[in-house]
Amino acid sequence: MSEIRVLSVASEVYPLIKTGGLADVAGALPAALAVEGVLVRTLIPGYPAVIAACNETEVVYEFADLFGGSARLLAARAGALDLFVLDAPHLFDRPGNPYLAPNGRDWPDNAIRFAALARVGALVAKGLVPGFSPDIVHLHDWQAALTPVYLRYDGGPRPGCVMTIHNIAYQGQFGADLLPRLGLPPEAYGVDGIEYYGTIGYLKGGLQFADRITTVSPTYAEEICTPEFGMGLDGLLRSRANVLSGILNGIDEAMWDPSRDTQIASTFSRSRLDIRLLNRLALQRKLGMAMDSKSLLLGVVSRLTWQKGLDMLHAALPTFLQRDVQLALLGAGDQELESAYRELAARFPGRVGCYIGYDESLAHLVQAGCDALVVPSRFEPCGLTQLYALRYGALPIVARVGGLADTVIDANEMALASHAGTGIQFSPPTSERLTGALRRALALFAHKPTWKSLQLNAMAADVSWRRPAQRYAALYRDLISTR
């Protein structure tokens, strides 16, 4: 089979810059796709952290004026990643979080920053860089979503466009007065263009013009076609259901492997599960918790937002914390949730350990040290932390939504009888049902052989990128063959 060349456009890519799972996916997929004969180059904004990580840098294009300033397009490498970096200091030379200003709010010019990324994505797609003409452009989330819009209104031949929705809650919606600044013709502002309930919708435009739409789990692909989960885009998605599909995420097995993870206290494997105890102790020590070896140690690694349902966990926990359960939480986000968990830690000293902030190494230790990872999301396109948990033998306790429904096998009676269970699911996502799930977890945990067999199932589950990469490659080939 011939090779396929893909231009991937993403606003974050691990290990260069990360706020969540999008970076993990954009960072790991290229290597997985290479095995399938797909060569990926990723276009990413030149934030300071990205520029600093690049080597073999070469200027391949210079823009005298890109949305109000001069800019350069760099070809570069960072580790195994082949990159195009948009070095536009007036837009991206800002340290820290890629979307938020130091005051915690969106940068006021985010509409322009990510229009510029998409504008350049469209130009590169159409051959701006000599010697690089992709067969497919793969756009990730709203930050890249204007690319198919520019391609549509520029006219002429263009590569196939695949638009992936990682989270429909973030749509890139801006005032209609932005239109003249985008460099799009007036007719772009229409119901069959970027117009969205009287505003401009970046994701809406991308979904309108992409040739294929994917999201990151089959269940979420169905959910977003309903008013409950579609966040206003369900009608458009229903009308495009023939090109919409769900492809699960995988995990980067080089980064997330308990048998060679350098960021945990002691490496372990299915045959040496007993060693997990050392990680448990290290985690308890690190978070100032009691060195209790009997309680069910729950873990959380999460953005603290409404999506993640951690208010429900906060409501459900107190009855358990007195004796049976401990909690190790790593998270950052909404101030209210941050304070609520700080207060919980103060109320239950030794029982609750919190690290409010972002810490990649600690995320590994939580997975290696906790007994069960709680993910009570109200919606979850795919979720990666439950996949890491499976690999690390931390049984996921998850709400049965989106990718959580597709990746965890509930340890019900039948699953126990057939040795298939890998975790616990509950539905609907309420604190009452979560309480029930925690009770079930405690009952299973009390019977050590059962718990251990669930851990062994979980660790054996295939959560690699192998199958997802095959699906993306098949999708690309199908799209190329139909054009």
The Cα 283–Cα 99 span in angstroms is: 31
* Nearer of residues 146 and 384 to ligand GLC, judged by Cβ: 384
Residue 404 CB, nearest distance to ligand GLC (Å)? 8
For residue 374, what are the contacts with CB-CB under 8 A and spacing of at least 6? 298, 299, 300, 313, 396, 397, 398, 434
Q: Which of 4, 10, 24, 150 binds ligand ADP (CB under 6 A)?
A: 24
* Nearer of residues 61 and 306 to ligand ADP, judged by Cβ: 306
Tokens of 344: 């919980």
Indicate which of ligand ADP, ligand GLC, none lies near residue 369 (CB less than 5 to 8 Å, by partner kind): none
The Cα 447–Cα 442 span in angstroms is: 9
Residue 119 CB, nearest distance to ligand ADP (Å)? 26
Is 46 a binding residue for ligand ADP by CB under 6 A? The answer is no
- x/- binding map, residues 140-169, to ligand GLC, per CB under 6 A? --------------------------xx--
* Nearer of residues 279 and 385 to ligand ADP, judged by Cβ: 385
Stretch that binds ligand ADP, among 31-39, 151-159, 223-231, 377-385 (CB under 6 A): 377-385
Residue 166 CB, nearest distance to ligand GLC (Å)? 3
For residue 247, what are the contacts with CB-CB under 8 A and spacing of at least 6? 214, 215, 216, 217, 468, 471, 472, 475
Is 390 a binding residue for ligand GLC by CB under 6 A? The answer is no
Indicate which of ligand GLC, ligand ADP, none lies near residue 71 (CB less than 5 to 8 Å, by partner kind): none
For residue 103, what are the contacts with CB-CB under 8 A and spacing of at least 6? none
CA-wise closest residue to 345 among 334, 331, 358 = 331
Indicate which of ligand ADP, ligand GLC, none lies near residue 385 (CB less than 5 to 8 Å, by partner kind): ligand ADP
b (16+ CB within 10 A) / e for 354-380: bbbeeeeebbbbbbbbbbbbbbbbbbb
Q: Looking at beta carbons, which residue is closest to ligand GLC?
A: 21
For residue 36, what are the contacts with CB-CB under 8 A and spacing of at least 6? 469, 470, 472, 473
CA-wise closest residue to 192 among 241, 153, 220 = 153
The Cα 85–Cα 59 span in angstroms is: 9
Tokens of 371: 């007994």
Distance of CA 290 to the CA centre of its chain: 32
Residue 47 CB, nearest distance to ligand GLC (Å)? 18
* Nearer of residues 134 and 423 to ligand ADP, judged by Cβ: 423
Q: Looking at beta carbons, which residue is closest to ligand ADP?
A: 21
> 207 to 266, contacts with ligand GLC by CB under 6 A?
216, 249
Query: What amino acid is encoded at 102 in this protein?
Result: P
Residue 361 CB, nearest distance to ligand ADP (Å)? 8
Is 404 a binding residue for ligand ADP by CB under 6 A? The answer is no
Indicate which of ligand ADP, ligand GLC, none lies near residue 216 (CB less than 5 to 8 Å, by partner kind): ligand GLC
Tokens of 269: 């494997």
* Nearer of residues 299 and 381 to ligand GLC, judged by Cβ: 381
For ligand GLC, the binding residues (CB under 6 A) are: 20-22, 25, 166-167, 216, 249, 380-384, 403
